[in-house]
Each structure stands twice: as C-alpha cells, then as structure tokens.
C-alpha cells in the first residue's frame, strides 16, 4: 500500500532560516513554497531524490499562528520531525483499508496538500506516536 516516503515534515520556527540551513548544509533545492491556510502552515518542499515510485522531499513547516497543529507541536516539543508522509496510489482507498483496521483517521476524506497532492492524516496515538500522512501525488 505504501509506495515510498514522499516527505518528512519538519516543524520550525523560522522557515527562511531553516531553508538556508538545508540548502547550505545538504545542498537541497526548494521546489515549491506554499501557504496552506486550512492546515495553518507556511511550507517549503526541498527535493531529496527521485525513485521508481516518485520523488521524495523534506518539507519545512512554519506555523501561521500559535493555535495550529504545528504551532501547538512547537510549543509542546520544540523544533523537529513533525510527521512522515507516505506515497500511496489512491488515498481514498488507502483510508478505507487503514480505517477498517481500527486506526483512527484524522481526515475521513482527502484534503488539499502540497504541490497539488491529495492528503490525509492518521492519528499519531494509533501509529506508535508518529503523525502519519498519506499522499496521493498529482505528479504520477
């Protein structure tokens, strides 16, 4: 069901500083920047690699307000890995299959994600403490 790691989401307090860090230390390149009001984030995707099943990225996330998912995460835990996004072929079908196994779905239906993807989150408490995102890329 999971095709690849689409991205690792990293929560940060200053997006521009963190982009500069990933560019200068790892030589990564920003391929997309978006503000997602619904998710309460300003974010950048940095390309890591291409594979048979699609590309993988680091996603840097800065909260738009303290009272957002990433804002609350930063207040509680500080900067660091916020979630893992896995590529799937069909996010609606994957949600159905995963939900049937008793995992709590944060999103019952896909929402709009970075770079035109359809995304949905699974509750971290049912995935061993890992906020998990399913990503159906618009690029394949």
Q: Which residues bind ligand MC0 (CB under 6 A)?
A: 9, 36, 39, 41, 43, 59, 61, 69-70, 72-73, 76, 82-83, 85, 106, 113-114, 119, 121, 124-125, 129, 131, 133
Exposed (0-12), middle (13-18) or buried (19+): which is 7, by Cβ within 10 Å?
buried
121 within 8 A of 104, measured Cβ to Cβ: no
Closest to ligand MC0 by CB, 14 or 24: 14
Q: Please name the residue ranges forming H helices in the chain.
A: 15-26, 69-77, 91-100
Closest to ligand MC0 by CB, 55 or 131: 131
Closest to ligand MC0 by CB, 24 or 104: 104
């Amino acid at each position: 069901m999971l095709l690849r790691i689409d991205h690792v989401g990293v929560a940060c307090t200053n997006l521009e500083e963190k982009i500069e860090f990933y560019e200068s230390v790892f030589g990564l390149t920003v391929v997309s920047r978006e503000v997602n009001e619904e998710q309460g984030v300003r974010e950048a995707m940095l390309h890591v690699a291409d594979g048979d099943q699609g590309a993988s990225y680091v996603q840097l996330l800065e909260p738009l307000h303290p009272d957002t998912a990433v804002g609350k995460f930063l207040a509680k835990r500080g900067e660091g890995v916020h979630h893992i996004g896995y590529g799937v072929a069909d996010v609606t079908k994957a949600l159905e299959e995963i939900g049937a196994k008793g995992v709590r779905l944060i999103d019952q239906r896909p929402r709009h994600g970075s770079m035109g993807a359809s995304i949905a989150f699974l509750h971290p408490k049912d995935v061993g403490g890992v906020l998990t995102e399913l990503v159906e890329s618009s690029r394949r």
